[in-house]
Structure 1
Amino acid sequence: MKVEKTKLEGVVIVTPARHGDNRGFFSETFSTRAMEQAGLPSTFVQDNLSRSATKGTVRGLHCQAPPHAQTKLVRCLRGAILDVAVDARHTSPTYGEWVAVELSDDNGSALLVPAGFLHGFITLTDNVDVFYKCSDHYAPETEMSVRFDDPDLGIDWGIPADQATLSGKDGEAGSMAEFSTPFDLHGGPRTS
């Protein structure tokens, strides 16, 4: 398993080995042992699968507040996405900064997004399946979001904002300036 750091502490790209032959390939996509040996979180309690029919579909930017904050391990099983993590940790030196990583069925990579970060993605192809592991169960009462096209964040999604396909909820999300972060520097509950 290859682990690549990003500019945001804790957000890493995880790429499992693929063993191929004339039939195709085999890949161990998740191993508690390998994650622990790499010093990465390895306890997940919920798996999610989203399917997006059209290129330009945006899901995010989302997070859950403590005590149900989630670490996510995100992988694209079919098609391709641009996966984005935004630092939402109070007093972090990289607060409000973001990374974007292309995940696809071709590259087999996953993005580990720790608690304390907003997460979202845009589909780069039609017919996209995204699978992600979560460290806590879905708790809608703790859901928070920030608008994907917030000019203060300046995320390059690769398309004009008015061409993105959004849910009604994502279209109504507020700005990062209005976001009252619940996270401390370590992704836990903010105390000040």
Structure 2
Amino acid sequence: MKVSSTPIEGLLVIEPSVFRDDRGYFFEPFNDRRFHEATGLDVTFVQDNESLSKAYTVRGLHFQEPPVPQGKLVRVSRGKAFDVAVDLRKESPTFGQHHMVLLSEENKLQFWIPPGFAHGFLTLEDDTVFSYKCTGYYAPECERTLRWNDPILAIDWGVEEPLISEKDADAPGWTEYESPF
């Protein structure tokens, strides 16, 4: 397993060891001991989620506020997606900035997004399966959404009119949000 930092402190890109031969491949999407050793993080995952989306679907920007914030370890098991994390930590030098990673069935990369970040993704192929491990249980009273195309965040999704839920389309913008992180 190879772990790479990003320009935003706390966000990590994880490349698992993949063993390929003429039959195909084998890899461990998650191994608790190896994850802790490679990242130095002391986190416990309590819930796994999975979504299936058509091409050019945007989901996000989602997060949970305290008292039930969520860290997420995300990956694409089928298809391809641009994955985005936005820094919501007020004291961070990268507050309001984002980082994007291409996750795919082929590259098998994973993206660690700690609590204090909004998260979203754009699928690039039909039937993209997006999976994520969460450090906190889903708590609807703590769930929040930021507008995916807020001009202040300036995320270049590479698509003008994605498929998007009504909730995500009607989400508040950056200037309407007061971060508790």
Report how far residue 41 of structure 1 moved: 4.1
Cα distance in structure 2, aligned partners of 1:18 and 1:42: 24
Cα distance in structure 2, aligned partners of 1:69 and 1:179: 16
Cα distance in structure 1, aligned partners of 2:37 and 2:140: 33
Query: Which position in structure 1 is the counterpart of 2:64?
Result: 64
Q: Percent identity?
A: 48
Query: Which position in structure 1 is the counterpart of 2:46?
Result: 45
Cα distance in structure 2, aligned partners of 1:92 and 1:10: 10
Q: 1:1-192 counterparts in 2 under 5 A?
A: 1-38=1-38, 39-52=40-53, 54-160=54-160, 163-183=161-181
CA contact (8 A) 1:15 1:109 kept: yes
The TM-score, its normalising length taken from structure 2, stands at 0.97
3-state SS of 2:175 partner: coil
CA-atom RMSD in angstroms: 0.8
Letter in 2 for 1:167: S
Query: Which position in structure 2 is the counterpart of 1:187?
Result: none
The TM-score, its normalising length taken from structure 1, stands at 0.92
Cα distance in structure 2, aligned partners of 1:132 and 1:34: 17
CA contact (8 A) 1:35 1:42 kept: no
Matched length = 180
Report how far residue 40 of structure 1 moved: 2.5
Structure 1: stretches of 5+ with no match in the other structure: 184-192
Q: Deviations over 1:27-82 (max 9, x none)?
A: 01111111111213441000001010x21100000100111100000000000000
Letter in 1 for 2:32: T
3-state SS of 2:168 partner: helix
Cα distance in structure 2, aligned partners of 1:154 and 1:63: 18
Letter in 1 for 2:117: F
- Deviating runs (4+, > 6 A) in structure 1? none
Structure 2: stretches of 5+ with no match in the other structure: none
Cα distance in structure 1, aligned partners of 2:91 and 2:174: 15
